Structure 1
Amino acid sequence: MKNIRYNLLSRLFAIAAIFVTTIAFSQTPSLTLSTSLGADNITCANSAFTLTVSDTTLSLSTTYTLSYGSFVSRQNTDTGIVIFSLAGVATETTITVNAENPNGSVASTTTIYVPRLATSGTISTTAPLVICYGGIINGAIYGDGVLSTSSATLTAGSSAASIQYQWQFKTNTDPWENIPGASTASTLSTNTLSTFQIYENITIRRVSYAVSGTVSCSVGMTYPQISAVVSNVSAPVITSDTSDYNVCSDQNYNFSTSPVGGITHYWYLGASQVATGDSYSLAAGTISTDSTLGLIAFNGTCSSTLVTKTLKVAPLPSLTINTGLTEDAVCEDETFTITVVDTQSSTTNYTLSYSGGSETKSSSTGQVTFTLLNGLAAEGDISVRANSSSGCTDTVTKTILVPKLASAGTISTTQSTLCYGDTASAGVFSLTEATLTGDS
């Protein structure tokens, strides 16, 4: 009985195996193609991607042949899955995959879409391309047919695509950057350029893209570009004979700058131009209050920044001398003290000069005293000169009178001997009067 059951089960398994094998070997390939490019199958020219072949055939050795143009690649497998790695296609291309097994063959196709540019066009402008430091390009950069320019174009084998642009700039050492506010138009407008200040030599280019879906392609293109050169005029340096640009309204001053070939210098007081050249002389009395001195260097096209110095008008010393003497008179060689009063109180050196020598004192109170220990030997002038820290000066002079007798004169009388307690009976009369010295 057991043998009968065993034989029956063995026959059933054999029949099932024959049935499955018959089904498998009777199948022809059934293919599904997919790529790593996504559902839209869009890629840029010559960009690598993979193509996956899915076959529903069960456990049959199948040869898959992929072809497009002159390119052919084959793989054999019994897994029903094969992946082809492709270096890319140059234009819109239909790829064919042929699958062949013992039961027959089948072919399936898929199209790869390639947006591709033929040319990037040309650009031009009538605006001057020598730009002053911080200046702008004051005209549009055309690329839409104006000035014989041209837009970018698609290749004959390109898939359907739109053309978009991006305007960029770079300096000598920096990478390309997008111009702020630049649109995707073929022309860079004056409005955009009006806010794009230029401080160093730059190159501007228009990058073109062939766009399909979310894919933008610009492979292997040379983009049109123009260069702008900055004419950078160095700021001049002002030198002067002032003391830290403190000036006295009653003095002349000279201001200068180093001469530079091809450069003209313009001098300003406030907003008014006062001189042209490498120097400027400020005459006494020109200013009475603090003023701004300005200097600009100009090369015929561009100017430097305005260099300024503030001219600070210092108070002028104004001196008086008080001797404390009655009618400014003193006896010969008699000590006396003078007080010098100044209308300003900046730090100032006061120098006394007279026949007996000189002496200098410093004061910031507007007052200073000098004592002449040995007085004066004769009538003469004493003078005091003030020299403030700003270089402003004043001098005052006073004459000191020194009355001096040359002789006391002589007297006489006719009175003879006069006893103690007697009264003179004769008068006293003058023979000669007292006299003054010649320098009294």
Structure 2
Amino acid sequence: MTYEVTEDIYYQNFIQSKTNITDLTRLNYKRALKKFVLAIDTTLEKVVNECKNQQDRVIEKIISHGTDEEGNQIIEKQLIKFDVNSPDSSIKKYMDKFMEYCRQQGNSNSTINQNLMLINSFLKFYNITLPDMESLKKDPKKWYLLEKEDFKYILNDSPIIHASLIKFLQSSGMRISDALSLSIGDFMEATKDYHDFVDVNDFIDNAPQNMIGTWYFHPQKTMKFQVPCLTFNDPETSNLILQHLRKIKNEYIPYAKRKYDFDKTMLKSDALFGSQKSKYIEPLHPNPTGTQFWVKNKKLREWRILKIKEAIANGEISAEDYDKEVSKIPKFHAHACRKYFETIIAKNCGNLRICTLMEGHVSPIKTDSSYIKQDIEDVKEHYMAAIPDLSLENTDVKVYTSDVRREMEEKIANLESQNETLKSELGKMDDIMERLSKLEGKI
């Protein structure tokens, strides 16, 4: 029978003790401990029992202090606890084996450190003494940013569900855990400035193109600190999401009804980025989604290498620079989309408070959460300035500042006032014409 971490009683007791953790943290515990047992090839129950039995052992050590005046040997008995750093320490062997496994998998120091933190938390819960371990320093790697052409290539190579998710991550900067928690109803609410639909099917069929979504929420990663995030998604993203939803409604549902006699009704509670496995009701699962991203990263690297070789063949770059150019190829994953967003926002917005608000980071000024309330339209103006850089096609976005918007509102108010005056004058003219008509009849 295949061993499942989540079915281990020691895992279950540990998770049940964590009453205030988020779903994301619970998922991270599961991943780290699953990786741990895979590396050491045993179960959590066996690890805990074996290490506890070993660490509870007490060794009697006899120490000689020479002889007394009568020549009798002076002996002292000491009870010494088991040393977890000794060569025969089970916990040390397990941890060393896990470290070696991570190295073979090519994990970065930051990834290993994150896993160790979660595993150590589990072991400490069962009073397992941990061995001394060398602290791993942060990897000194240079970050190479994805480019528009990279996103175009990836989206062209992706089904509509993944294309809409990737574009959403790239244009909103949301973490993937937050994006996968969204529903169709959330998208309807985020775009309510552009429509007044309350029915899901009406919205999917008739929602306008080029909507900008407005998202205000507390990210799961910083939920316990109540860090706010106010971000947006660009028109291209909304168009892709609508295309995805219309494909479910107009293609998948009729097909499922014919093939499986499954009569599905789309609801606001359905996941915005739903999995076909769950009939688009539940969201895409992070693990297979991460695998898909890994495949796309591999394809992107192959495509970029092919472009480098073509550039060498065309004499655009030297063959000697091949290795250097290959080393600059950016990696594609969910956080790379967020990194792209943060870079573009920083480029187009000089206000650090607004940048951190859109990124969902802790404000640089501690009192901001109490005293600073950013106007949504003000933040949106900064976002709209970044849309040309976030959009993958040439996009001409008219950015209306607060002053321009107020001026336009005043003009509209004046025109409405003039219109009311004209209506009143026309009413008077109608009265005069009616009187003249009556007078004409008498004559």
Whether these two folds match at TM > 0.5 is: no
More helix by share: 2
More strand by share: 1
Highest RCO, 1 vs 2 (Cα 8 Å, sep ≥ 6): 2
Give me the TM-score of the superposition, normalised by structure 2.
Answer: 0.19
Give me the TM-score of the superposition, normalised by structure 1.
Answer: 0.19
